[in-house]
Structure 1
Amino acid sequence: MGLFRRTASKGTPQASEPAEQPQDVAVPAGEPAEGTTAAEPAEPARGPFDASQVSSMGPRVDLGAIWLPVLPGLELRMEIDKRTQKVTGVSATLGGSGLQVQAFAAPRTAGIWDEVREEIAASVTKQGGTVDDVPGPFGRELIARIPATTADGRQAVRPARFVGVDGPRWFLRGVLTGKAAVDAAAARPLESVFAGVVVVRDGAPRPPRDLLTLTLPNQGRKPETATEGLAPETPSFDPLTRGPEITEIR
């Protein structure tokens, strides 16, 4: 059984500050769906998927614009903007690795990942980090090394992998951190989560890069209060969120 955590996103503190422990709500865990029945249209071998490409939600958790696959031991954490109380993203952690997922509106006729990669690379470089644009399982991706400060004040480097997929009128971005950012074997489970995401794009007109609406599961249930502690580390840079370049999830 995984844990579903609710957190709030906030302002512009430095990336080195620790995040507060979010609140916990249990959600079911399972394995990604395999195959379809003969009467159903065949699901593409690899996603992320558009909702029109799948016949059912399967063993995924419904977060509104994102249906996220769940695995045994996977811990999910919703990111909430304290000012607007809107859900801005979801993070999944497993075995010392993290995956942040966000879905955005995109133009009907063109993708935006090429442009977004350039912006991420420019921002990381501006912060004093380094970036490599390399091929990956989802196409071109960025391997970034982001300057950070440890809890005891020492300078360090935080690795992160930025992956992105352009879909029909949507763009899905993932950020792999922890072991998954540097170790291929550690990354595979979270890559399978990202590959199994279904994006549900509503028919409303939206400007490009507008965050697609995410919702909390089991909204009628009051979360239990968790003890304070450190949340998994995530990169501080979000090139698609309107506002400051440096944000921190709290």
Structure 2
Amino acid sequence: MTRHEVRWQHAGDGYFDLDGLKIPASEGVRLLPIVGGASGAVVAVTAVRGRTAIQLQAFHVSAGRSWDSVRLELLARVRRNGGTAEEFIGRSGPGVQARVPVVTSEGANKVQDVRFVGLDGPGWLLRGTITGTGAVPGSTDAWSCGMFDEVAVKSTALVEPGSSAMELQWPPGEAR
């Protein structure tokens, strides 16, 4: 997956409308599309403000699949990959607070704080992955959770065959 920056303005109603997601627009926020899959479709977006980022991704899900089950899978995956993870209850409801091993661009090993938040509805699931200062345990950063809480999911968005990630419609003429 690759990331690119966008400099377009919201439609005037206070939201960026990406068809599958409506994301609140606010001062100082940059949006970076994340492209994936064989078609090169935008499948997620990262909103960045200051030293905090939140990646937002929506999925079509089958009956019985919920944020509760995905949260348990995240806990297990982080621990299996050498990190630490625990559940927490925050402003956006139940989530996962994790510390994951990463390799920097210089090749150094370090640990990164990550916070996962989620929400599900009929046939869809929204996952937010918070990094930066907003993901540090005990952080008082309210922006990322406020952003997550105001995202609207359009469950009729397209998905690429073999994937459950909803495709987002990036504005025509904008770099991806």
TM-score past 0.5 threshold: yes
1:173 pairs, out of 120, 127, 139, with 127
In structure 2, how many angstroms separate the alpha carbons of the residues matched to 1:189 and 1:166?
21
Q: 1:106 to 1:131 in 2, by over 3 A?
A: same
Q: Once the 2 structures are TM-superposed, how far is the Cα of residue 29 of structure 1 from its aligned partner?
A: 5.7
Q: After TM superposition, list the pairs within 5 Å mapping 1:76-87 onto structure 2.
A: 76-81=31-36, 83-87=38-42
2:87 pairs, out of 123, 133, 150, with 133
| Equivalent pair of 1:111/1:167 in contact (CA under 8 Å) | no
| Equivalent pair of 1:67/1:198 in contact (CA under 8 Å) | yes
| 1:145-171 CA-partner distances (Å, limit 9, x unpaired) | 001123333321011000000112211
Most deviating of 124-133 and 197-206: 197-206
Q: Once the 2 structures are TM-superposed, how far is the Cα of residue 205 of structure 1 from its aligned partner?
A: 10
Q: Once the 2 structures are TM-superposed, how far is the Cα of residue 88 of structure 1 from its aligned partner?
A: 1.3
In structure 2, how many angstroms separate the alpha carbons of the residues matched to 1:158 and 1:120?
15
Structure 2 residue matching 1:91: 3-state secondary structure: strand
Bigger Rg over Cα: 1
Q: Once the 2 structures are TM-superposed, how far is the Cα of residue 65 of structure 1 from its aligned partner?
A: 0.8
In structure 1, how many angstroms separate the alpha carbons of the residues matched to 2:158 and 2:130?
30
In structure 2, how many angstroms separate the alpha carbons of the residues matched to 1:60 and 1:115?
30
Partner of residue 109, structure 2? 155
Q: 1:77 to 1:177 in 2, by over 3 A?
A: same
| 1:101-123 CA-partner distances (Å, limit 9, x unpaired) | 01111335x45111111111111
RMSD (Å), alpha carbons: 2.8
1:124 pairs with 2:78? yes
| Equivalent pair of 2:159/2:165 in contact (CA under 8 Å) | no
| Equivalent pair of 1:29/1:74 in contact (CA under 8 Å) | no
Q: Once the 2 structures are TM-superposed, how far is the Cα of residue 28 of structure 1 from its aligned partner?
A: 2.1
Q: Once the 2 structures are TM-superposed, how far is the Cα of residue 140 of structure 1 from its aligned partner?
A: 1.3
Q: 1:205 to 1:124 in 2, by over 3 A?
A: closer
* Matched length: 174
In structure 2, how many angstroms separate the alpha carbons of the residues matched to 1:63 and 1:126?
34
Q: 1:107 to 1:58 in 2, by over 3 A?
A: farther
1:101 pairs with 2:56? yes
Structure 2 residue matching 1:223: 3-state secondary structure: coil
Q: Once the 2 structures are TM-superposed, how far is the Cα of residue 142 of structure 1 from its aligned partner?
A: 0.3
Structure 1 length as normaliser, TM-score? 0.62
1:195 pairs with 2:149? yes
In structure 1, how many angstroms separate the alpha carbons of the residues matched to 2:33 and 2:106?
28
Q: 1:64 to 1:145 in 2, by over 3 A?
A: same
| 1:82-131 CA-partner distances (Å, limit 9, x unpaired) | 632111100011111110001111335x4511111111111111111000
Query: Hey, which bits of structure 1, 4+ residues long, moved more than 3 A?
Result: 203-207
Q: Which amino acid aligns with 2:8?
A: V
| Equivalent pair of 1:76/1:91 in contact (CA under 8 Å) | yes
